[in-house]
Amino acid sequence: MRKLLNTLYVMNEEAYAALDGENVVIRAKETELGRIPLHQLEGIILFSYVGASPALMGKCAREGIDLVFCTPRGRFLARTCAEIRGNVLLRRMQYRLADEPLQSARIARCFIFGKLANARRVLDRTRRDHAIRIDEKKFQLAMDQLRGRMEQVMQETSLDALRGMEGAAATIYFGLFDDMILRNKETFYFHGRNRRPPLDRVNALLSFVYTLLGNDCTSALESVGLDPYVGLLHRDRPGRTSLAQDLLEELRPCMADRFVLTLINDRIVSPKDFELQENGAVLLKTEGRKKVLAEWQEKKKGKITHPFLKEKMEWGLVPYAQALLLARYLRDDLDGYPPFLWK
C-alpha cells in the first residue's frame, strides 16, 4: 500500500503558485506566502482565479501530483492530467463493461450495497451513542428498511431499477439526518438535500466535503490506471467524473456525512463561518473553509483496519484501496468487487 502524502490547499484568492527548483512557491502581490517541497505532496488545490505557472503544471503532471483549480467558493473548475498510467487493457475492459448494462449492474449494485450498509452504520452509531437524545424506534425502523433495501439491491440486474432503489434509500437515510444534528439546531438544520446552490449551512458543508472526497476518488482511480470519466452506475456526462462518482457513493456516509456531523456537533464550525447571499444561497466563508480543510486533513490521517484487506491504513488511503480492488476485479483477479463496509 502506498504512503499517504499531504494535500496543499491554497485559500488566498490572490495567490499564484509557481515552481522554484523542487518546491512549490505561493505568492500574492509579490509577497511570498510559503514554499513546500513537492516530494511531500500528492495534490495541490487552488481556490483562486490567479492560477499557477506552466512550469509548475508541467512538473506536477510529470510527477503525478494532482493540481486542481477551484473557484474561491469551492466549485471545481479544472485539473491537470498526467500521462495516463496503467495498462491499456485494463481501461479497455472498463469501457467494454460500461457498454454492457448487465455487467455494469453487477458492479453498480456493489457500490449501492456499500452505500446503504454504511448509511445504516451511521444511523446505528448515532442510535447507540446518543440514545437519550434521539427517537430510537424511528432510527431502528429506518435501519430495518435499509437492510431490506440492501437485500433487494444484490438481486437486481437493471441499472435503472438500481438507481431508483438508491434514491429511495437515500430518502430514508436523509430523513433522519436532521435528527443526527445535536447542537445549534436553530442554525444548523437539514430539511432535505439541495445543491447548486446549497440553501442552508448543512448542505453547504455537504457539498464542499463531497467535492473534496470526489477529488480524492478521481485521483485514486487515475493512479491505478482507470478512467474516472467512464462510470458504471452514473451515466456518462461531458465533464463529469462518473466512475469517481460511483466510487464516492459507498464512501459518502462514513467519510463525508459523519465528518460533517462531527464539524457541527463538536462546534468546529459556527454560523459566522457562512455567508448568506441575496439569492438564498449559503456558502462557506474563507475562514470556514480553512477550518473544514484543516479538519479534513486530520480526518484523513486517522487509522482504520480495512474490512476486506485486513490492513491498517489511513482513512485518506481508503479511496485508493477501493480503486485498487476495482482494478483487480476488472482484471479477473477477484471474483467480485468488495465494497468498503465500515465497522
Please name the helix (run of DSSP H) or strand (run of DSSP E) that holds residue 289, with its range, or none: helix 286-301
Q: For residue 19, is pLDDT > 60?
A: yes
Contact 222, 303 (CB under 8 A): no
Whether the bond between 197 and the residue before it is cis, its omega within 30 degrees of 0, is yes
According to DSSP, the β-strands at 41-47 and 66-70 are: parallel
pLDDT category of residue 84 using cuts at 50, 70 and 90: low
Residues 51, 122 within the same domain: no
Residues 55, 126 within the same domain: no
pLDDT category of residue 108 using cuts at 50, 70 and 90: very high
Residues 69, 94 within the same domain: no
* Segments in 44-87 forming alpha helices (H): 54-63
Predicted pLDDT of residue 52:
87
> pLDDT tens across 281-325, in order?
898 998 898 999 999 989 998 999 999 999 888 998 899 999 989
Strands (E), the chain: 6-10, 16-20, 23-28, 31-37, 41-47, 66-70, 76-79, 274-276, 282-284, 303-305, 312-314
CA distance 156 to 107: 11
Angle at 211 between CA 202 and CA 226, to 5 degrees: 150
Predicted pLDDT of residue 148:
92
The CATH number for 61's domain is: 3.100.10.20
Residues 246, 105 within the same domain: yes
**Does 280 map to a domain?**
yes
Residues 154, 248 within the same domain: yes
**Does 342 map to a domain?**
no
The C-alpha cell that represents 217 in the structure block: 476518488
**Does 343 map to a domain?**
no
Contact 256, 210 (CB under 8 A): yes
Angle at 312 between CA 307 and CA 316, to 5 degrees: 90
Residues 125, 264 within the same domain: yes
**Does 336 map to a domain?**
no
CA distance 209 to 317: 16
**CB 106: neighbour CB atoms within 10 A?**
16
SS3 state at 91 = helix
Boundary-marking domain end, from 34, 54, 79: 79
Q: For residue 252, is pLDDT > 70?
A: yes
DSSP 108: H
The C-alpha cell that represents 36 in the structure block: 513546500
Rounded to 10°, the helix 101-129/88-98 angle is: 90
Q: Which domain holds residue 74?
A: 6-79
Distance from chain centroid for Cα 89: 27
DSSP 52: B
Residues 243, 319 within the same domain: yes
Boundary-marking domain end, from 31, 54, 79: 79
Predicted pLDDT of residue 144:
95
**Whole-number average pLDDT of the chain:** 89
Residues 6+ apart with CB under 8 A from 152: 165
What is the rounded average pLDDT of the residues 237-256?
A: 92
Predicted pLDDT of residue 1:
53
Residues 271, 190 within the same domain: yes
Residues 39, 99 within the same domain: no
The CATH number for 262's domain is: 1.20.120.920
207 compared with 11, residue with greater pLDDT: 207
Residues 128, 235 within the same domain: yes
160: buried, middle or exposed (CB in 10 Å: 19+, 13-18, 0-12)?
Answer: exposed
**Does 340 map to a domain?**
no
C-alpha dist (Å) from residue 295 to 54, 256, 257, 289: 31, 12, 14, 10
**Does 339 map to a domain?**
no
Residues 163, 108 within the same domain: yes
201: buried, middle or exposed (CB in 10 Å: 19+, 13-18, 0-12)?
Answer: buried
Residues 167, 315 within the same domain: yes
Boundary-marking domain end, from 79, 101, 125: 79
Predicted pLDDT of residue 86:
60
pLDDT category of residue 74 using cuts at 50, 70 and 90: low
Q: Which of 79-88, 128-137, 169-178, 183-192 has the lowest mean pLDDT?
A: 79-88
What is the rounded average pLDDT of the residues 58-76?
A: 80
**pTM over the 0.75 mark:** yes
| Structural domains of the chain, count | 2
Q: For residue 21, is pLDDT > 80?
A: yes
**Does 278 map to a domain?**
yes
Write phi, then psi, for 229 (nearest 5 degrees): -90, -10
**Does 338 map to a domain?**
no
